[in-house]
Structure 1
Amino acid sequence: MKISPSFRLLWVALLSTTLLSSCFELREEIYIKKNGSGNYSFLFDMSQMKPLLEAAMAFADSTDSDKDFLAESEGALGQATEMFEGMAGISNPTAIKDKENFKFGFQFDFQDVESLNDALSQMETQADVVDSKKSIYKYSKGTLERNMAGYIVSLSRSMGSDSEEGKEANSPDNDAILKSANYVFVIKTEGKIKNFAGENLTQVSERELKLTAPLSEVSNQKRNLQMKVKFK
């Protein structure tokens, strides 16, 4: 599978910084309301690398890629969020650019889960989706289901050294970086959670669930991301 051109630009910019450290987190979060609408966010969190990144940028030349990645990431995020503008059922697409804490990503509101699925399908080139007939998420009467990993597999695989993005980032250690990085998935609900099911899915509060897994296991599809949550 291949990621879309806009996200490819973002990964290249971000991957160039992970040469300094392999401690980062790929994070997805969904807030779901009783009527099926909600908010989705995707975050590339390098805050744990902050001391190393700050030190590198302090000594880097202005033309050094480790210093310019902030501008590159900002431009790539702008292109990435543009693809959601004007989509049916999607509103308020916004780039997340927390330069101080080295967190980059995007978020948007969705009218219903069908709109969410349509938006997330844009993160891959349509011809490379494994099962385009199967939706990632399903919602009905207070029950949210995740049926498969979907695009997150191709996104994480794009960080491997054999991928086009990995080669362009000029990092021979991208596979090692992938193995030590984490994938985090969070579900927040409008009402109190009644019950839930899912491998390694834990309850953080009465309205929040969280899954944490090695990104390499997600990339290799060794971690089952299917889950279901029912709330009042």
Structure 2
Amino acid sequence: MKKTFKLALLAVLAIGLSSCIEITEKAKFNSDYSGTFSLTIDMGQMKQMMIAMGMDPDSLAGTENPMEGIEQDIREQKAKLEGVRGVSNARVEADEENFVVRTLFDFDDIDALNAGIAHIMEEGEISERPVFYKKNGRSIERTSEQTHVAQMKSEMMDNPDMEGMDPSMIFGDMSYNVVMEFSNRIDNVSNANYTLSADGKSTQLRYYIFRPESEGQSFANKVSF
């Protein structure tokens, strides 16, 4: 998925428009702490902006097209996930019409969840497996782990095409969202930056990757029932 994200950023630079790209990490937990995880990269607003300005999204080619070669990405993602213990039903959904790519898998437990996420986030071999989620008694915790987001941001900032540009002006609306969804109502969340849904069963953080005011925000959140 990092490859798709990089192509999306390059496409924004290539067409010379500020744009909103949303990346959403969603962990849906069952009562036994198995569940489904998904990572979605939504570039639909970028495409709609091109159309509104009279540009043809189909004119993007090669490395400028974030959907170029997506079939290979799909095969690679499925192959990595299918070999992870406790992970099943791995699939990748690509909506080429709307510039949306989503990777999903089912997990048996928290260990399988962390292993599956690591395989999605990293390229190549995984030397150190990060911990994204923890179970503590009746609580589920999203840790502060966001190395993958920091790496993507760093790679973009080091791009020669960004020289002299203010990333907050070009990518200010680009967000990474963390969503935690449960079968039971939530009693408490530890991070006030997370919002609760109307039914009280999910909580979400919207982190703007390139906005200075997001620098101090943490992904860490302990959800209690």
What is the TM-score with the length of structure 2 in the denominator?
A: 0.80
Q: What CA distance in whole angstroms lies between the structure 1 residues aligned with 2:7 and 2:104?
A: 19
1:201 aligns with 2:194: yes
Q: What CA distance in whole angstroms lies between the structure 2 residues aligned with 1:9 and 1:153?
A: 13
Cα displacement string for residues 60-92 of structure 1 (whole angstroms, at most 9, x for unaligned residues): 27x5654x4423234323322321112100011
**Contact 2:8 2:66 (C-alpha < 8 Å) held by counterparts:** yes
Counterpart amino acid of residue 9 in structure 2: L
Counterpart amino acid of residue 185 in structure 2: K
Runs (4+) of structure 1 exceeding 6 A deviation are none
SS in 2 for 1:193: coil
- Report the counterpart of residue 99 of structure 2 in structure 1: 102
Among the aligned pairs, what percent are the same residue?
A: 24
1:75 aligns with 2:62: no
- Report the counterpart of residue 3 of structure 1 in structure 2: none
Judged with a 3 Å threshold, the aligned counterparts in structure 2 of structure 1 residues 203 and 16 are, in CA distance, closer, same or farther, namely same
- Report the counterpart of residue 217 of structure 2 in structure 1: 223
| Structure 1: stretches of 5+ with no match in the other structure | 1-6
Counterpart amino acid of residue 198 in structure 1: N
Cα displacement string for residues 210-230 of structure 1 (whole angstroms, at most 9, x for unaligned residues): 111211369x85211110112
Partner of residue 160 from structure 1, selected from 156, 159, 163: 156
Q: Count the aligned residue pairs.
A: 214
| Structure 2: stretches of 5+ with no match in the other structure | none
1:175 aligns with 2:167: yes
- Report the counterpart of residue 185 of structure 2 in structure 1: 192
SS in 2 for 1:109: strand
Judged with a 3 Å threshold, the aligned counterparts in structure 2 of structure 1 residues 126 and 175 are, in CA distance, closer, same or farther, namely farther
Partner of residue 120 from structure 1, selected from 111, 117, 136: 117
What is the TM-score with the length of structure 1 in the denominator?
A: 0.78
Q: What CA distance in whole angstroms lies between the structure 2 residues aligned with 1:82 and 1:178?
A: 32
Judged with a 3 Å threshold, the aligned counterparts in structure 2 of structure 1 residues 108 and 59 are, in CA distance, closer, same or farther, namely closer
